[in-house]
Chains A and B, each alone.
Chain A
């Protein structure tokens, strides 16, 4: 099946720094990728939809200046958490939709655990 990777898998940073998370579709092209965050023992909450070549679409309540998304190519989307604070600590998961075959299926990355001290 399709593979989506994320890098890094975990990161610890100091409050006030910015952290970039990469999401790559390894064996298919994805014009659309999605970014989710998940708090412990909770469900995934969609943060934004990343569109190749255009601006991301953010869900209500998600600060676009706080969570910068860049979908630079058909296989790469990045999420930058700017000026991170402890409350940004979470598990961030990306997904990509493979439109070549089973377009309805989203493939998820392994997630990135962010801890802000």
Chain B
């Protein structure tokens, strides 16, 4: 079963706006990772945040992690049409032998 739940399931914004999506999980984790998937393609690793970290930045991406609430958020600032994709969080649970468990994903549409 999936460890993570993501919301919203879908998001439609105008170019230039920020996009925020959230991920919740159930068990203790080693780290949480965010991936992007363009339609019909493979996954691209965006960012990894460890369980002892609270916030991480990479370019226009900002990820937060709250282990007390078992939740994470991904913020894409100043979105571009090329950011249109599905975004997945994946947890690396402590007790799962480093097997990633994916959330349901958020489909983001950035309108030009």
Contact = CB atoms under 8 A, between A and B. Distances in A.
A113 B31 contact: no
A25 interface: no
A104 B92 contact: yes
Contacts of B99: 34, 46, 49
Contact of B103 (A36, A43, A91, A97): A43
Given A43-B102, A43-B103, A104 B31 contact: yes
Q: Which 6 A-B pairs have the closest CB atoms?
A: A110-B42, A108-B43, A44-B102, A43-B102, A108-B42, A111-B42
B101 interface: yes
Interface bin, chain A: 20 to 34
Interface residues of B, number: 25
A28 interface: no
Interface of A: 1, 6, 32, 34, 36, 41-46, 49, 91, 93, 95, 97, 102, 104-111, 113
